[in-house]
Amino acid sequence: MSLRVRHLPVAVTVAAAAAAVALGCSDIDRAAEYRELQAQLSEESQTIWEVVPLSPEQVDSVVVQFEGRTVEVRQAGPRRWVTAEDDPVIQSLMFDLERVLFPLLSYRRLSIDGDNPAFGLRDSTLGVAARTPAGDSWRVMFGAETFSGGGHYARLDGDPHVYTVIPKVIDSLKSVALGERVDRGIDPRFAAALNELQLVTVEEEDLNPWLAQVLDHEGP
């Protein structure tokens, strides 16, 4: 098991900055983390971490655990996920999950003690394990929401770092575990900025994967 780092071209930096300015200020700026990320996406800083460096076709099975519930899903063919009960609802929800989980991307990596209670990882109730046909596996636990509300903390087994992932990952995992769609949507404080970003025309290969996931873009 290894962690890969992506260095990506960025075509939306100027529009992102302009959209961020339009948000304005507030006593509790829940958009700060997104604006900080957008500012970092420059020619000098284009690093996004692949916590689970797998594409959907490389995955044999996925196990999602949430608050005592366990759901195991196997891939029987391209975009065909099946459970022991052959639940069509879970199959449908897996389409959303595979788009944010394979690969699982992180926009921030912290070299810090993940057992700190503030991260919510030590007693996490939400986790996922992915296995390849060759038997290689990745297990990730998810913790508390970040202070700004812009993401959640995550930890990969065997990796000393703490990562941050977008809320869509958490919602998609809970949806599969519960058997019903969970979608908190986008905080209205930064929805306008993301709408502005959606108007930007970029080539498919130039669209940052993190941004693609936030915008629910059908990216690679």
pLDDT tens-digit series, residues 15-49: 343 344 344 444 445 445 545 555 554 444 447 88
Q: How many domains does the chain have?
A: 1
**Whole-number average pLDDT of the chain:** 75
137 SS3 class: strand
Q: Is the pLDDT of residue 6 over 90?
A: no
Residue 219 in domain: no
3-class secondary structure for 125-145?
A: CEEEEEECCCCCEEEEEEEEE
With respect to residue 29, please indicate whether it lies within any of the assigned structural domains. yes
Residue 110 lies in a domain: yes
Query: Counting every residue, how long is the chain?
Result: 220
Indicate whether 220 belongs to any domain.
no
Please report the DSSP string for 28-51 in residue order.
S-TTHHHHHHHHH-BTTB-EEEEE
With pLDDT > 90 as the criterion, what percentage of the chain qualifies?
47
Q: Which residues, 6+ apart, have CB-to-CB distance to 22 below 8 Å? A: 192, 193, 196
Q: Give me the pLDDT at residue 97, please.
A: 94
Residue 9 lies in a domain: yes
What pLDDT digit, counting tens, does each position of 112-139 carry?
A: 999 999 999 999 999 999 999 999 999 9
Q: Which domain holds residue 20?
A: 4-214
More confident residue, 6 or 181: 181
Q: State which amino acid sits at residue 121.
A: L
Taken in order 34, 39, 40, 45, the sign of the CA dihedral is positive
**Which tokens go with 213?**
């996931």
Judge whether 207 lies within some domain: yes
- What mean pLDDT do residues 185-210 have? 48
pLDDT of residue 191: 52
